[in-house]
Structure 1
């Protein structure tokens, strides 16, 4: 795996640590290429993904030195956007464990996760317009879903950075943990996910990601498949047997 990422693969989860602490984990092309490699592995063998950063920072943004040199064809390629969309579309849940700065592309990587937790040191937001660009890797459509249109508009149009308490109040983060407890808290979420039926978890994520006009038909089809699953029979039988004791 690439130097810009540390990858720890387990039976039911993969932990990916952004590892460019000397530049506050700025997201460069090598890191994007590494994230694509991780996605290929998880598409082939679905497991929960935990994303975190090294050195007390999640990701301070895209690598400005590289970004400054990019031109219109690079923008149309969607370099970061394609990677973050692939992360968001992974079959199993994605957990972002955020400490310190999550700015610009770093914030957009966090928005691509299904679950986001943080520390009291979190600073998250999108200052792109101050650099003469827009947040084009997911913020303009994911952030309204997460925080609501009015709040997303305020963040994206002003470049305001939320502190940890504001991020929780706005629904950008679901909980806060001391820095030393952040990764254990992410693993606790992954443990709870792992205790459930993987297929039911995957189908729940599929339903959550479906467009509004796909409901309720998509739930009915997914549920129909699960109703025929041997795992559903096994788990419900075990529940009834426990209750009867």
Structure 2
């Protein structure tokens, strides 16, 4: 992987690009990766690139450093200093919700690799991902009501879809903070690994996705997120497109060739 030339001017994100994936790291260590306007702007630029050049996205934060004794962190939430000054007009602009929704709708899957704090807007950013992998040190929650506001960037509806209403209400209304183990038990993350293995696990998952046919993955994601009333027509249309793709013929022929080889070997 190499540093992405198109992201050379970024300051709140560090971006590395490979042939089939982009790794973007939130990079505001001085404020525990609080999400400010600069980070939002750079996430929009990242989304713009991935919409025009579809690739898998691994989104992560600051890694832990055992030598320095520092802990990893994904994002501690929105930048409270900026949030305190925002008024009704900024709330109606949906600054965070707009970019999180844009990331959720990227053509190819997004993987959030989570360590340390993923709170408030940081948690909501991770909910927009298709997959979440975490560490035992992960702490996820929504402290917004304690600050006199609501979780306005997706938690009030995405969290219910992810973990169910009872636990979502405990997180949103009672300020419950989940540990990494609790996130795994609730299905909020799909894998629990040590911090040193976090990116390795994210890349392993990306490898499995990359082994599938990209167009089939892209259309399956789009169909999965379509509203209920669009089914089954949208499934049928997506299948019709894929039935004409070269990859379908090549992959099915390869499957049949391998099956025939096994039959011959067993004789």
Q: Does 1:34 align with 2:34?
A: no
The residue number in structure 2 matching 1:115 is 131
- The alignment's TM-score, normalised by the length of structure 1, stands at 0.98
Q: Does 1:97 align with 2:98?
A: no
Deviations 1:45-104 (A, max 9, x none): 000000000140000000000000000000000001111000000000000000000000
The residue number in structure 2 matching 1:45 is 53
Deviation at 1:12, TM superposition (A): 0.5
**How many residue pairs get matched?**
245
State the secondary structure of the residue aligned to 2:183: helix
Unaligned runs of 5+ in 1: none
State the secondary structure of the residue aligned to 1:116: strand
The residue number in structure 1 matching 2:217 is 201
Structure 1 vs Structure 2 CA RMSD: 0.8
- Counterparts of 1:223-238 in structure 2, within 5 Å, are 223-238=239-254
The residue number in structure 1 matching 2:195 is 179
State the secondary structure of the residue aligned to 1:14: strand
Q: Does 1:131 align with 2:155?
A: no
State the secondary structure of the residue aligned to 2:75: coil
Query: Equivalent of 1:142, from 158, 161, 176?
Result: 158
The residue number in structure 2 matching 1:161 is 177
Off by >3 Å, runs of 4+ in structure 1: none
State the secondary structure of the residue aligned to 1:58: coil
The residue number in structure 2 matching 1:6 is 14
What is the CA–CA distance in structure 1 between the aligned matches of 2:259 and 2:136, rounded to whole Å? 41
Query: Equivalent of 1:151, from 153, 161, 167?
Result: 167
Instruction: State which drifts further: 208-217 or 80-89.
Output: 208-217
What is the CA–CA distance in structure 2 between the aligned matches of 1:13 and 1:34, rounded to whole Å? 17
The residue number in structure 2 matching 1:61 is 77
State the secondary structure of the residue aligned to 2:111: strand
Deviation at 1:150, TM superposition (A): 2.0
**Greater gyration radius:** 2
What is the CA–CA distance in structure 1 between the aligned matches of 2:105 and 2:46, rounded to whole Å? 13
Query: Equivalent of 1:220, from 223, 236, 239?
Result: 236
